[in-house]
Amino acid sequence: MRLSEREFAQLAADKKSAKPKAPKETDTQNAIREYLCWHGWYVIRHQQSLGSLKGLTDLTALKEGWTVYIEVKTLTGRLSEDQEKFRDNVVAHGGTYVVARSVEDVQFLCGVPVMELQSRWLGKVVGE
């Protein structure tokens, strides 16, 4: 069987498009939110808009009086300068800040009593 140049180019293009794509940040946010809600967390998703606090995390999760701020990034994403300032303020006030690139990055929050989590992670940054 012989292929024309056009047919060969089409086959090559099809192979390139078959590469697995990295998940979008929004998909990761939704998966993290659903996972934490399933494990008893109350999760708030923040939308940046005019007048929003610059650097505010994508998600805030609450359980048994403990609040965790979660910034969701792609596999190669980095915190902006405003996000770094927000992170530093959260930690300076004893809060917990998590940079999550997948659901696996927040699994440590589930299956362990909140008191134990607080004693280990209060005032800390997880991930990055």
In CATH, what number is assigned to the domain containing residue 81? 3.40.1350.10
Q: In which domain, by residue range, is 60 found? A: 22-126
pLDDT average, residue stretch 38-62: 92
- On whether residue 26 sits in a domain, the answer given is yes
- On whether residue 11 sits in a domain, the answer given is no
Ranking 10-14, 47-51, 73-77 by mean pLDDT, the lowest is: 10-14
- On whether residue 13 sits in a domain, the answer given is no
The answer for 94, left when phi > 0, alpha when psi is -120 to 50, beta otherwise, is: left
- On whether residue 14 sits in a domain, the answer given is no
What pLDDT, in 10s, does the model give residues 74-89?
A: 999 999 999 999 999 9
Q: Which residues of 55-94 are buried (b: 16+ CB within 10 A; e: fewer)?
A: bebbbbbebeebebbbbbbeeeeebeeebeebbeebbeee
Domain count across the chain: 1
Q: Which amino acid is residue 120, in one-letter code?
A: R
Tell me the DSSP string of 92-121: HTT-EEEEESSGGGGGGGSSS-HHHHHHHH
Given a cut of 70, is residue 51 above it in pLDDT?
yes
Given a cut of 60, is residue 17 above it in pLDDT?
no
- On whether residue 3 sits in a domain, the answer given is no
- Which pTM does this prediction carry? 0.81
- On whether residue 17 sits in a domain, the answer given is no
